[in-house]
Amino acid sequence: MQIKKMLAVAGACCACLAAQAAPMKVKVVSVMEGDVINVLMPSEDRLVLRVAGIDAPELTQEFGQKAVLTLAKMVEGKEVMATAITQDESRRYVTILNSNGRDVGLFMLLNGLAWTLEEDLEAMPEELAETYRTAVAEARAAKRGLWGGPHQIEPRRWREMVKKAQEAAASNGAGAPITDPRQAMERIQELRQKHGLN
Nearest of 66, 80, 105 to residue 192 by alpha carbon: 66
Look at the chain and report how many structural domains it folds into.
1
Q: Which pLDDT score, from 0 to 100, does residue 180 have? A: 56
Nearest of 163, 136, 164, 182 to residue 6 by alpha carbon: 136
CATH number at residue 116: 2.40.50.90
Full residue range of the structural domain in which residue 148 is found: 3-194
Give phi and psi for 98, each to the nearest 5: -125, 120
Q: Which pLDDT score, from 0 to 100, does residue 112 have? A: 97
Instruction: Give the Cα separation of 148 and 112 in Å (integer).
Output: 9
Q: Which pLDDT score, from 0 to 100, does residue 173 have? A: 63
Instruction: Give the Cα separation of 2 and 23 in Å (integer).
Output: 27
Q: Which pLDDT score, from 0 to 100, does residue 151 have? A: 77
Instruction: Give the Cα separation of 65 and 153 in Å (integer).
Output: 15
120 neighbors 85 (Cβ within 8 angstroms): yes
Q: Which pLDDT score, from 0 to 100, does residue 85 have? A: 93
Q: Which pLDDT score, from 0 to 100, does residue 166 have? A: 78
**Cβ contacts of 72 within 8 Å, gap of 6 or more:** 30, 31, 192, 197
From first to last of its 198 residues, what are the pLDDT tens digits of the chain? Answer: 555 554 444 444 444 334 347 899 999 999 999 999 999 999 999 999 999 999 999 998 999 999 999 999 999 999 999 999 999 888 899 999 999 999 999 999 999 999 999 999 999 999 999 999 999 999 999 999 999 988 788 988 888 888 887 777 777 665 545 565 556 556 666 766 776 655
Give phi and psi for 49, each to the nearest 5: -120, 150
Hey, what's the torsion of the CAs at 61, 70, 23, 92, to 10 degrees?
A: 20
